[in-house]
Structure formats: C-alpha cells, structure tokens
Structure 1
C-alpha cells in the first residue's frame, strides 16, 4: 500500500523486509545503504499497520518502475511472467489466441489467475468476466512507481482470492509537470511493430494542499500469424517417429515406424515431428461405414465398396478429390488439415486509456483522494476455418455422387442394413431415420474453408472510480491509543465487453442443406471443395456476445498504537469491508441454443457474490536491545467473512508470524497464513460452454500399449465404443476433444495454508550487499476445479484408475454411437466442484550488490549494480480428486496435457547495470530450467508403467537462456532516450508435437517472437 508520510525520530536498521525481500528487479527497490537513519512510517503490502522502517515477516518482492522501461514491455504481464515466482498464464497475454480471451493476467506460483489478488494502491481494481480476474491490460504502466508482490496467502489482510499472494501496483500520484513518452518495438523475424505513447500531466494546486495527475496512453500492437514464423510454427506438428539421430540430442534413440506416405522430418530442429493436423478436412472425411468384408458389413455393401474402390478403407473412412469426382480411402497424416498458418501467434491489440489521481488536504486531519480510470481495449483473435463433424442424413440417390461408381449404392446398402430407427441430432433439432426410408446416416468430418477464417473482435470498456478520505487523528492520550490514523473509501468498477464473431456455421442449417428439397438438388455439395456461395450464405452465421462485470467495495480502517511496551509500541489495525461482485455473460442466440459450429457455444451466466467482513492486525514487540536479539516482534491478523452463498457462509482467515532481528547484519522471519478463495460467479453460475482441450482418449490408439488391458477394453465398450473400434485411430482422429464446462451453485470455498521462513543478510561491512533466502510451502484443499481436475484427468480416472462405469467420471463421458468418438454433439460434461488439491514448496533467493568505480565515460566515475532473483521449486503437486489421495500429479520439472505450462525446477533473472554519468547500460539474463513431458514423468514418479523414454519424440525441452540488452541516456534534465534488444541470440522456442498447448510450443513461457528491438524517448518539463 502507498506510504503515509508521518515522520518518526526512532532509528531503525534498514534491511529486513520489503526492500530486500526479493527486490532484485529494479534499482529503485533497494535502499542505497543500510546505515541507521531517520525513517518514516510506511504501509507495506501484506499489512495494514504502518511501521517504522520496513520490517515485515511476510516476504515481499519489489519490481521498480525502472525495470519496465529497461525491459521495453508496454504491458506489465510480460515483466511479471519473467519473474521467478510466476508461472506463465496460458490464456492471458499477447499469445493467447483463445475465445474468450484478449486479456492479460498473472499466475503467481502456478496456481492460476483467480488465486492471486491484484491491487492498485492497496485497493482492489476492476474485474472482468465471471471469473472476476483483473485484466493487466488496464494497468497504466507509465504511472507505476513500483510493484510489490507478496508471495504467500494474504486473505486475513486483503480478503478472498489471495491464496498465493498479492500483486500491488503502487502509482505515481504526486506528479508535477508534463511528461511524454513514445516507444516503438518490433521483432526481427516479421518486423511487426508495436507502438506505445504516454502523456502525463500533473501539478499542485491550492498552495500545495492538493495535487492532480492525468495520464493518457495509446497502444497499438500488430498481429503475427503462425505462418509468418514458418520455420517452426507453420505446420500443425505431432509426434511421429524416432530416429537414431535423435539420440545425440538426448531426445530419443529407437527408430519407430513412419506413417505411410510421410517422412520423418526435423521440424524446428527436432527430429521425429510430423506435419499433421485435424482429421476434419476441406474435401470431407466420411466414417461410420463398415469396413470391407468386416463382420458388420453385408454382401451388398461389400460389392458397393468394391465398385467404389474402397476395399482398402480403414477406420479413417474415405474422402474425395478436390472436384468431388473420385473417392478414395482417407489417410493420416497426409490428408490432415494444417490448422497452423492462419492462426494468430501474437494477437493484435489497440488500447486507449485515461487515468487520473488527485488528493487534497481539507484539514490537517483529513485528506481526500480520488482515482479514475477508463480504458478501451480491442483485441482480435483469428483461427483456421471451422470444421463440422457428427452423424448426418444423406439422400441415398444423392445427385453429387451419381457419377462415382458404387457411391449411391453404398448409401442404399447402409439404409437397407439399418435394423431400427435412429435419432440423428443436428444442433437444436433432431430427426428420426427409419430403415429403408431413402436416407442413410454417415459421420461427416468437413473443414468449411469456403466459409472463411474464424474471427472474434473483443471490444472491452472499463470504468473505475475510487473515492476516499484518510488522515491522522492524533492521540486519545499520551500512553493509550496514540498515533491514530484512518482510511475510509468506496470504489466502483465496471467492465463491459462486446465480442463479434464471424466464420460460424449453423448446424441445423447445414443438416437441412445436405438433403434434397423435393426434386431440387441439395444446396450443399460437401464432397470435395464444392460448396457454392449460395451454400455459404445459407449456413454461415455471425454472433454477438456481451459480458459485464461489476465490483463495489466500501472499507474503513483505523490503525495506530495501543500502548507502549518495554520493547516498543503495541500497534494495531481494525477495519470493516463490504464487497459486491456481479457478472453476466449473454451469448448470441445461436451460441445459446447450441446450434453453432465454429466458436464455442455456451449458455448464459449471471450471478453475484456479496461479502461482509471485519478484520484486524496486531504487531507485538516482545524483546529488543539484547545480545542476539536486536528486535523480536510477533504479528497476527484475522478476518471474518460472511458470504451470501449457501456453500460458504461465515469463514475465518488468520495469520501469525515472528520477526527476529539478530543484529544489524542478520534477521530471521517466519509466518503461517490461513487463506480462502470464495467461489466466483463462473464457479457458481457458469452456463455450460463448449471448449476443445488437448487430451488422450484411452479407448483410442493413443492409449499406450501397456494400458490396453481387457478391463479398459470392456469399459470402453460399456461407454459406447463399438467393440471393433476400441484402441483404433477412429475413436480419436484429433489431438483435441470437445467438452462442456460449467458452474455449480453448491460449490464451497477453497482453503489454503502457507508457511514461510526466511533469512535476510545485510552485512554492515558490505553496506551495498543484501541477500534474502525464503522457504515457502503452500497447500490448497478443496480446489474449485473442473470435475476430475479437467478433461484429460477425467478420462484417465474413468478408464485407467477407478474403472467403474457408474463413477461420476465415466458418467461424464458421452460418445458418438457410430464411431465411439467424443465429438460434437456428443461431449464430455465437466462441471465445477471442490474436487482437488494443490501444493507447492521451494525457495526464493535474491541478492544485490553494487560497485563504485573511479573511472567513467564522463569523468565522474561510474557504478555497477548487480541484482538477481531465483526460485527453486521443490514440489508442485496437483491432486485431481482428493477423495483419491494416492492419485497425484507430481508436476515440478514437467509440462504437457496434464501439468500444463512448463513448471521448471529453477527459474531466475539476473541484471547487470553500469551507470556512468547520464548513460546506463544494462544486461539481463533470464533462465528457464529444462522440463520433461508429463506423459513420461508422471507415471515414472508414480511408480506405474511409463512409455519408454527412448520411444518418445522430444520428451525433454532443454533449458533456455535469454540475454537482453538495454540502455538509457539522459540528455539534460528534460530528454531521455532509451532502447534495447531482447533475446539477443534470436533463440526460437523449443518445439514440441502432441504435447503442445498451441503453435507447436508453449508461447506464454518461451520467447515466441525471436529477437525484438525497442527504442523510445521521454520528454519532460522542469
């Protein structure tokens, strides 16, 4: 929280707390020395008690405003994701080409964006969507003085959501003058520009009793498609083969078969990856027809298949030539559609933002303050043309098949072979198909390239206002309730978003257009690439969705000192808070009905959450001025929250800790915190929505050979897979699977415990050295998550672990009765539940040292400052279902479809800055440790059978070392030039196949845009 300028005469040794607790990323974050000095009472993030100096038992890291300039990042999420305490946020940032999307969030400790709390000047900021997360695109980087990060549960101090900690942006709210900054940046592979302009105006008024600051920002970030990074991102890659050449790279070593018609290629420098893609292709892929001479075929059908040349057809079905005049068996991966080239790798963004801060001293005891924010963010997403799949009806005398020998007879034989009526679901409607009625059912997998690319334009407006009064009210008496201060405020924030989509298709219109209308030919010819403009007009639909979110907070605090104890004053803080959060999502009627193919359908979401809270803190000085006990202080806090939720009600959170300053050189600290996260609107009331997720169906050929047991086979058949199709490619032709996700109004709160212990070393003999080492352990119980921990885990629990068709996990799986595939409109249904647990532990190390030199370029000497911050993650464990505690995913050092974004064991950032006169030169090193694919690592750690490491393609992603260079030059007092180059070596991200999240890599974790350059200038008045 922002500091209070109440000066005190008591001296304190700087060196224990926020300044040195991980503050290695910005020069402004560290004190210049550790000598005893006059200090002021300040409020430090993690506590509401003002204290002399900056002692705190809670580890707090600080990122100075200078770091933002030196990094060249116009959006702050990039700075945070590079910091070692953070794991990249998959769906929040410039590389998140997802819908809904277009936002930037922060993922502290890897627990997800909803489990850390974002503040501005110590108060909650605006939220977006039913998830009630803050969009970092709304944070004005030009006004950030510093960013304080509490890495541990803070619900007792700040309320719900602070499971893993708090990110608090401290703003410059006492600015005088005019400052204009312009910056441009671009990447070397595509030269796509990003422009960022800031204008800040501020000044004092009323003879210095008030100050007002207004800042305007414009940002324009260009788009980069995967096709523009063709050397590794163009193709849709999947694991294909292993070559002896791979052994030298420690990726694999045993050759395996290359699919017919393909070659074992080295995409992105990695042998064994094969260009593939989606099984739903522009020429159409048709399945559900019994294989020639199989037990489910008939003599008549065999003759028809032979006439059509389909005796060699397998489970992948058949397809057509471009003009639709010939038919042949479908192949993989030769026929698969490449989803990559048109998809955005970097989404374009245009932002306008206005921020205003003002404060005015009405009296010596009352200062009013006002904060205002408005921003408009426009972010586009672009995806490959939509596909449509599922069973559809065809006339058995389809005119578009009349010239292909045997094809209409294939349809007639299918119609004759039907033994009972079949209901064919077509989006919002259905139709009963009877045997020998002139119609046949065939499963279609068609990429609708004629409709065009899928595009979504998100337009998001955010308003926020904070109004408050704070001040010092003095003492009740000299020895009781002294130095009292108060802060009362109200905030209102509202987010409104409209997203407009194109490239969607109506499923029911598509189904109708496949059939003859009386004697007229069907409107759609989907055999080959033959859909006409009239056909496109008939099936294509747009969609307009709206999302609103509102947050209101009213709070009051009173702080001060109760009495003077022998070791110092007993300090306290008491307060009350009322909080109201609401959100609604209103999808387009096509999305709401489910009669849509393209972007994901979903049902409306609407709800609100209200909390009434009281909270308090104590800081108790125990001993001081003794040998080996320069200062020993205990602290504690509590918060009682009353939620209007049936599954939550009243909950308590609390913390207690101890600060022990051994002497001026060494200090120790420790703390325990109980934190909670109440369910948000999405958890509670989220309407069912469709999404596709990377997952492995254990009933397909993607199930490892060791898992193809009789029990699994029987379970697959019981779940709806035809017996002959079990463990074949037809059960899962794609690497992604559709599922329905939604909320649960009965869900309760999450609960976590955080333990931290640390040491701070600030040796007086080396006054510019500061070192901190902190241990952290965070355990989360009752994690609100998708059933089973997600789609992939639900499939695994059903078929490989629990193996009970009546379990909630197996009951969530629905299959196409013809092929056994989990495909539209047969989904897996995954709802929210207090289902799992998360645990992480490790060490945070930070250090800083400075050198003074007698030489420099401008004759006045120079300085070299070195700062470093590292995190070693000992454990990152997810328990998908706490009712089955033996099923754990030990994810540290891993990545993949279960563990998600890479979670390296070691991650670090080090910066060297040499300053000579007006010139500063800075070199930054970023390190990300190597990680191993979870498909191998998880079963190995669990003691179960894992696939042979040598048979895997690129199972390990090598450690990454990035070097960044930047400079700044002050030309007088009014002009400053700055610039730099990030990723000096132009390193490409590591390339993966089947385990990728998108674009054949993990673009949120690794630099996806190669070498980037930036240059800027700041002009200010004196």
Structure 2
C-alpha cells in the first residue's frame, strides 16, 4: 500500500469515530511521506487502525473551515461532546461550578463531567486553570495545532487518572517551515458580538539537525452583554402552576408550568414596601416614580408566591455571552544531538480575560426607619410602626461584573531516542496558572447598612452613623442612599456601597514522565509491542482574597436603636452579616503528589486464517499512589479483529479512576448567596430574602472508580471506494462518584423530610424557631453515574462532476445518563435540557452533517448542519408538568463557509479568503428553564446550552502562507 493510501485508510477508518478531511490527510502525507501518524489511543500502536480504543482524529483545517473561531468551540460540533461549558453558559465566578471563571472552555465527553475528561497537549497533561482542577482549553496555542485526537473510552491505565470518559489530545505541528498568518473579523446580524482574530506562525530549520517554530495569536470578542438584546429571550422560568395550592411544587396536584416575562413582585425597580405595621395602608405599594407611592401593578399570579408573569415586578438581565480577550504565544525548539537522540523544548504563554455581568443588587426585606430622610413625611405619618420592611431591585446601579483573567505559563523539555528497536522518551513539564478574578460592584453590606439609615441634619440627608461621635470617623465618607424610586439613588451613594474586590489563585504543576516502547519478540502472527511508562506529578494550590466568607460586617448604629440590615447569615455562630455579597475563600498552600507506573502490550494472535485477516489483543495495567487518597490499580483489555480489508471489529474493557481535586479535599469554606425555598411542609418561613449557600470541602474523599465497555465495527466496502461506515457502542458506570450535594436542592430536601436521611438533613441549617438560616454544600463519594449509547459515522470522499466531494454524517445516541444517589429519586439527564449542580443539556440524539465541494480549483464551499432531538425540561421522573409542557422542541441550524484560493504568487505560497455564516437561517433557540427558577428571572437559563443564542453570525477573513 502506498504511503498516501495508507494515510487515507488511517484517517477514513482509523477509528470507530474518525473525522479528518481526506484532502487534509493527503496534504499531510505529501508533506511528511516518511512519518506515521501516531494517534492517542495506545502507546503500543502506531496508528488508529491498530488501536482497540475508539479515537476521533480531526484536523485543525476541518475545524476552522466549518467554524472559524477557537478550536475548543469548533470541537463541540462533534457529537461525542455534550455538556461542555463556555462563553454562553450561565455567567458565574464564585462557587464550585464557577471555579473562579464559569465561562472557561470546559470540554466534556459524554456529559459525565469535564473533570472526567483528561486534556493533553502532545501527550502531556495541561496544567489546570482553576481551583476546581478544570483545564480551560482555550489556553492551548492554536496556530500550530495540527489535529486533535479524542479518545472516547476510558484510558486511565494508559494515560493516568482522570481519563474516565476519555482524553482530548491537542497535537502540534513539529515540522512547520515558512510563515503563515490569519486575520478575521465577525459580527452578529444584530450588530453585537464583534470578534477579531489575528495569528501568525513561523518555522525554520536550523542547520541540518535543528528546527525552531513559534506563533502568536490574538482574539477579541465583545460578547453579548444583555439577554434582553435578543427578542426571543422572554425571561422564561418554570414555577408551580396552581395559585394558593399547598401541594408540593411539581406534584400532580401542583404541576410545573413554563411562564414568560417573569417578574419578581416583591422586587420592583423602584422598590416596594413589604410591611409597615398593623393596618398600615402603604403595605404592598411601590415607587413607580421617584418618591411617589402607587398601587402595585400585579401581573398574572403563579403557584409560587412573589413570582408573576408581567406586572411591575423586577428582574435580572445578565450577559448572554461573556466578552473574551486572549493573547497566546508558543515556541518550540528541537535538535538532534545524534542520529539516535533528539532534544526538544517548548514554552507557551497564555493570557485570557473574560468579562460577564450578573444580577442587579437586590434589597430583600431590609428593615428601615420610617423617619428616613428620603421618605416623604406624608408616608411616614401613615406608618403604624417605627420601622418598615422594604425590597427593591436596584437596577439603577451597575450590575455585578465578574472579570476572570487567566495567565498561564508552560515550559517543557525532554529527550527522545532509539536504542536498537526500542523508542524511549523522558520529559519534564512545569505549568503555572494564575487566575485573577475581579469582582466589580460587589455589595459591601456594612456600607449598605449605614447608607440606608439616613437622617436629616438641617435639610441635608446624612448617614446616621456619621452623626454619632463613636462612629463618625469610620463613616465620615458615608453617602446616604435614596432607594425610593427607579432613578432615586445618587451616583455617589451607589459608588459608596459598591466595592471592587479581587481574588488571586495560583496553581502549579510539576510532571516528570518516562516511557519506552518496542518489540521484544515475535509470535507466529507478528511482533509483540510493549510499552513501559512511569510518571511523577506534583500539584499545589494557594489563593488570596479581598472578600472572604469569614469577613463580617461591623453593623453601624441605627437611628431606631436596633440592628439595621444585619440578619443572621453566619451559620457557625448564628449572627453576623457577611461583609460582601460575593466571596472567595483564601487558601493556604495545599498540595498533592502522585506516582504512577504502567505497562501495556499488544499481542498479535492470528494472521491470515479463515475469517480472520488479523486478530490482536491489547492490555494495559497501571499502579497509582496518591499521598492524599491512597493506592489504586487501573487496567484495560482490548481486541482488534480484522475480518477482511473491508470489515473490522474491536472492543475494550477498562477500569479507570478520577481522584478528588485539591479543592474537593482541602478548600476552605466559601459562601454564595442564593434564593431557594424551604420545601418542608409547615416549617417557619423567614422573611423573603437571600440565604447563604455554604460550600465546604471533604478531606475523607476517595477516588471514583469507572468501568467502561466499548465495542464496534468499521466497514469500508471495496465496491464503494471512498465510503466508510462506523458504529461504536459504549457503556460507562462510575461508582463512588464524587457528588457535590447541595442542601437547597429539591431532591436533597425531600430525602431529608420524607426519608429522614441524616446526611441530607445535616445540609439544612435552622435557627431555634425552625427557619432555615443557611444551606450547606459539600462533595461526597455518594453516587453512581451510568450511561450508554452509540456513536455513528458515515463518510464519503469522491467526486461530483469531476470535482472533489466530501460527505460526512456523525451522530451520537445517548438515551440515559443516570445519577443514582441513596434516598433520592434517580435523575436521568439523558435527553434533558437542565439539571442540578451545574448539569447542562445532553440531547439523546446529536447529529452533525458536513458537505464540502471543490467547485473550481480556487473556490470551495462547506455546509454544516447540526441537529438535536426534543429535550425534556427535567430529569426527575417525579416532576409533573402542565399538559403540553415539560419539553423543548428539537433544534437544528445550518452554517455555510465559502473560500477562495488565490493562485500562488512570487511571495505568497498560498492565500485564501473566506466568508463564514453561522446559523445561516437565524434559527432562534427554543425557550425553557430549570424547575423552580422563578427567583432567577432574566438571569438563569432560558435556553438549552449547545443551542445557538447569538443568531446569524458573519465572519470574513484571510489566511496566507509565505
């Protein structure tokens, strides 16, 4: 077989789910005719044809043709990815899901969790980017990426812990010579979401033995900073439907219903008086205009108190897509020290800045003096108590703005060589990631309390605390806050109560690896290939924070002699208001080290016998020892049966692990303020307001254990050259799964109230009167995660009218993702749009179709169509919905790429202009939301992640090579 045909065979049928473009494979073969393409599935096989583990091989050129943006966004068009996070997921920073940057590019295979997908670059671990051990894949330099290998089966025995659902390996082009550059700009049909992408790469030989290459890239994406910028976003939420019902929300007697134009009746933009004493006629009125009360304009009531459709209530307007700016620099040098030994070294620098806007400030039933300097005397006289309670959405202030900035350095170097028939490698990698998260417009509760309590000094409103000798110095700069009306607050007062706080975290990783592979002997069926490897890895983490959950407000004196706005938020002591609304814990240095040794072998058993052209078995075993969570064995067994040149079968069994992260084990306590209802029948309900969700670590965690089965077939009929069809079955079961259990979750509350499970009851903290004062959140080895499905791919590479034509259809069927947890109803997230604990959409059918046609030597077009099936809103089988609701329609969108190549010139070797249109027909995503999301109106969900919320998007650019 010629080298070109060999490479074509490799890439069109190398795996059960391969998807490189044939033209690109041929170009690679012509550029490097003496080199095999070594894919990621195994250390003992030279290419995917021999690997028993399914491997998706996708070229960078294909990704940029169908979606000319970041490679990580482009990868997510492949159906094997589901549940990945990025710029259009719900904006967050604090909390376990946010991890300091909730818009990080988190690749997720099979939607069983990004932490169970191992991210590599050239076979080496990429250092994590946040305290949740997530790798933000956008830090990968892209100009010199040649292809991306995705292993869609458990391979912990081959590549180490965390590879439970698979591996994503970014492969760089190590032999690039010349100079290439790219420039593009894009904008949405609505005039927002502007993007600029610039990149340049250069490579050259150094003498006869050396090679150097480098690249730089810049990306600027302004994002879409308000959800209201899209007309289809109608603030959909899912709430109880029966007004006044005492039946549990979501029960048959009080089913869930989807409402639009959701408003929070108690939080209008001008503020509302909640209570002002017995028989006070002002209770329930609101400030429709500055300073003047009006009867509240109610919308349509729902089965959840305070949640309405329409009316004068307030709502949020969070970012739809976060803004992003990146700088990436990469360099690689290699030198042949001898004919048998090569030295190499790489260095990379990555800077990534996201910016997103989240909720407006909410004043939730704050207690105020009726003699407040800004309240008209006519209203003061009608109040029958000395104080009143007041709520408002303070949209006049700037929204909370999270700005995470990741700066990551990676240096690696090593030696590769050959001794007789043995190949060996030794490498050291050091990665350092610095995450700085600026929380802009973070409410300072101490300043807020002082600012809300104003008195008249002469005719001038003044903070009461500034008039008292004991506190005058501390509050000399206090600015009184007028909250009575939509535009009543002064800029000076808003600036006083809002601070900018900073969080800085450092993650450092040292990684030393060594491996040797070769063929020590032959069997009757061919050479036995063996690989031995070892790895030592050390990781540490530390952080500093200007707004920690252990900082408490020093409540100022009040004009009523009471304690203003200092409700019991501290779950440890039952007293004290947290100083800042949004917090990060500061962490001392915590660390973890691990030793791993592994062996792998591929043994050919049969060759050229009836019905068996070849039959190989593959096995791997790994011993892993953590200094924190103990010792583990992982293994993999696989077989590859080639019946004929047309048909082959293969399959694997594996045992894999994922160790708990440093954050899971040792993170200090952090607090996020949330709105959630107490579902216990008859329990005291505190005044409407926000409660702390207290995030705790768990040093007693152990590793998760995953068991994976894959089996499939590849058919390349000789009577239809250029056509191939592949199908692959997989089943994953993860035991001892680390689950973050949240006390406010409905299943957890029901597990406590209905079944008395103490573990769950311990997560709900109540005061002496029985009212909930805080919710606890902690990781535990509690769950079993099960999923199974099929991957399909059909390829055709041929000609139409004498011109090259490529057709490709890729599909994934994943009907169930079950989360089995003691004492709770099993959640099945397969085919579901929303879920708890950060779970996001996982369609049970995901399909991508691609057609590429070379119309002339210079003009080519590519069409891509992506489709998902209808989704359920909830994976909880006990949830009931109003008839005709509970699902979101199927969704599909098309994209078009047109490219023109200019004939080669004297200076320019290649040049190409392109126009790309994403969401060609401007299809709006179906609306929906998670159950019980009324309090997050305008700020959470609204569409299934993976659907396109931006709309038709135009990109134009040029690529040149000198």
* Pairwise TM-score range, normalised by the shorter structure: 0.7 to 0.9
User: Which of 840, 851, 862 in structure 2 is aligned with 1:922?
Assistant: 862
Change in Cα spacing, 1:773 to 1:236, as seen in structure 2 (3 Å) is closer
**TM-score (normalizing by structure 2):** 0.84
Correspondence 1:348-497 to 2 at 5 A: 348-389=323-364, 392=367, 394-395=368-369, 397-398=371-372, 400-401=374-375, 403-405=377-379, 409-412=383-386, 444-474=390-420, 483-497=421-435
Question: 1:965 is paired with a residue of what secondary structure?
Answer: strand
Cross-structure match for 1:78: 73
**Conserved? CA contact 2:428–2:513, under 8 Å:** yes
Q: CA deviation at 1:18?
A: 6.7
What's the CA shift for 1:128?
A: 0.8
Q: 1:844 aligns with which of 779, 782, 791?
A: 791
Cα pair 2:265 2:313 within 8 Å, conserved: yes
2:40 is aligned with 1:45 = yes
Contact 1:239/1:994 (CA < 8 Å) preserved in 2? no
- Aligned equivalent of 1:793: 747
Shift of 1:142: 2.0
* Displacement of 1:349: 1.4
Matches within 5 A, 1:313-712: 319-326=286-293, 331=298, 332=306, 333=308, 334-340=311-317, 343-389=318-364, 392=367, 394-395=368-369, 397-398=371-372, 400-401=374-375, 403-405=377-379, 409-412=383-386, 444-474=390-420, 483-515=421-453, 522=464, 523-528=480-485, 530-589=488-547, 592-593=550-551, 595=553, 600-606=582-588, 607-645=590-628, 648-691=629-672, 697=677, 699=679, 712=680
> Of residues 905, 914, 918 in structure 1, which corresponds to 2:844?
905
Using the TM superposition, give the Cα deviation of residue 545 of structure 1 relative to its aligned residue in structure 2, in angstroms.
1.3
Residue by residue, what CA displacement relative to the aligned partner does 1:118-147 show, whole Å, maximum 9, x if unpaired? 111111123211112211221222222111
Question: How many angstroms does 1:377 deviate by?
Answer: 1.4
Distance 1:779 1:578, change over 3 A: same
* CA gap 1:692/1:189 in 2 versus in 1, 3 angstroms: farther
Structure 1 position 187, deviation (Å): 1.1
1:201 is matched with 202
Equivalences for residues 162-177 of structure 1 within 5 A: 162-177=163-178
The Cα shift of 1:33 comes to 14
1:302 aligns with 2:302: no
Partner residue, 1:778: 732
SS at match of 2:205: strand
Structure 1 residues 870, 650: closer, same or farther in 2, change over 3 A?
same
Instruction: Name the CA shift for 1:76/1:33 in 2 (closer, same or farther; >3 Å).
Output: closer
Q: Describe the shift of the 1:510–1:27 C-alpha distance in structure 2 as closer, same or farther (beyond 3 A).
A: same
The whole-number CA distance in structure 1 between the counterparts of 2:323 and 2:28 is: 44
Instruction: Quote the Cα distance in structure 2 between the aligned partners of 1:29 and 1:956.
Output: 41
CA change 1:408–1:578 in 2 (3 A) is farther
Q: Compare 840-849 and 956-965 and name the one that shifted more.
A: 956-965
Task: Give 1:960 deviation, angstroms.
Answer: 1.2
**Structure-2 separation of matches of 1:405 and 1:69:** 64
Counterpart among 952, 970, 987 of residue 901 in structure 2: 970
Structure 1 residues 272, 591: CA separation in 2 closer, same or farther (over 3 Å shift)?
A: closer
CA, structure 1 residues 524+1001, in 2 after alignment: closer, same or farther (shift >3 Å)? closer
Kindly provide the CA deviation profile for residues 42-70 of structure 1, in whole angstroms up to 9, marking residues without a partner as x.
53212112437731110011221122221
Deviations 1:556-615 (A, max 9, x none): 101111211111111111111011112223221465515567762132234221101111
Deviations 1:863-910 (A, max 9, x none): 21111111011321112x2x33x7311221222344842221110111
Deviation sequence 1:842-881 (CA, Å, 0-9, x none): 000111112224x4xxxxx3121111111011321112x2
**1:510 alignment partner, SS class:** helix
Shift of 1:818: 9.1
SS in 1 for 2:50: coil
Q: CA deviation at 1:657?
A: 1.0
Deviation at 1:358, TM superposition (A): 1.9
Corresponding residue for residue 429 of structure 1 = none
Deviation, structure 1 residue 773: 0.6
User: Offset of 1:170 from its aligned partner?
Assistant: 0.9
1:807 maps to 758
Change (3 A) 1:140 1:865: same
Alignment of 1:836-985 (within 5 A): 836-853=783-800, 855=801, 861-879=802-820, 881=821, 883-884=822-823, 887-898=825-836, 900-915=839-854, 916-934=856-874, 938-939=876-877, 944=878, 946-950=879-883, 952=885, 955-973=886-904, 974-985=910-921
Change over 3 Å in CA distance of 1:510–1:819 after alignment to 2: farther
Contact 1:163/1:676 (8 A) holds in 2: yes
CA pair 399-592 structure 1, distance change in 2 beyond 3 A:
same
In structure 2, distance between residues paired with 1:664 and 1:173: 32
Residues in 2 aligned to 1:321 and 1:818: alpha-carbon distance in whole angstroms: 36
Equivalences for residues 173-322 of structure 1 within 5 A: 173-207=174-208, 209-226=209-226, 229-233=229-233, 235=235, 272-277=259-264, 279-287=266-274, 301-303=277-279, 305=280, 308-310=281-283, 319-322=286-289
1:1015 aligns with 2:956: yes
| Secondary structure in 2 matching 1:808 | helix
CA contact (8 A) 1:108 1:164 kept: yes
Match of 2:695 among 741, 744, 747: 741
Structure-2 residue corresponding to 1:267: none
Distance 2:358 2:259 in 1: 26
* Deviations 1:443-479, CA, capped at 9 Å, x for gaps: 55333345422223222211111101101111xxxxx
Structure 1 residue 55 and structure 2 residue 39: aligned?
Answer: no
In structure 1, C-alpha distance between the alignment counterparts of 2:389 and 2:884, rounded to whole Å: 33
1:762 to 711, 716, 722: 716
Which residue matches 2:113?
A: 112
Answer whether contact 1:401 1:408 (CA < 8 A) is retained.
no
Q: Normalized against structure 1, the TM-score is what?
A: 0.79
CA distance in 1 between counterparts of 2:28 and 2:545 reads: 57
What is the rounded CA distance, in whole Å, between the counterparts of 2:512 and 2:788 in structure 1? Answer: 35
* Aligned 8 A contact 1:225 1:344 in 2: yes
SS state at 1:411 partner: coil
For the 8 Å contact 2:638–2:650, the answer to whether it is kept is: yes
- Give the alignment's Cα RMSD to 1 decimal: 3.5
Structure 1 residues 895 and 362: CA distance shift in structure 2, 3 A: same
1:435 paired residue number:
none
Task: Report the counterpart of residue 436 of structure 1 in structure 2.
Answer: none
Query: 2: distance between equivalents of 1:70 and 1:781?
Result: 40
State the Cα deviation string for residues 818-853 of structure 1 (Å, max 9, x = none). 995x6xxx3211111112121110000111112224
Q: Secondary structure at the match of 2:132?
A: coil
Distance 1:866 1:84, change over 3 A: same
CA 1:72–1:670 in 2, change beyond 3 Å: closer, same or farther?
closer
Deviations along 1:75-101, one digit per CA (max 9) or x if unpaired, are: 1222222211111324x3355532232
Retained in 1: the 8 A contact 2:441–2:500? yes
| Distance in structure 2 (CA, Å) of the matches to 1:73 and 1:790 | 41
Q: Is the 8 A contact 1:385 1:503 kept in 2?
A: no
Q: Is the alpha carbon distance of 1:948 and 1:374 closer, same or farther for their aligned partners in structure 2, counting shifts above 3 Å?
A: closer
Deviation of 1:796 (Å): 3.7
The secondary structure found in structure 1 opposite 2:942 is: coil
In the alignment, which residue of structure 2 is the partner of 1:421?
none
Per the alignment, in what secondary structure is the counterpart of residue 54 of structure 1?
helix
- Cα separation, partners in 2 of 1:509 and 1:948, compared to 1, 3 Å: closer
DSSP 3-state at the match of 1:79: helix
> Which whole-Å CA distance do the structure 2 matches of 1:11 and 1:140 have between them?
29
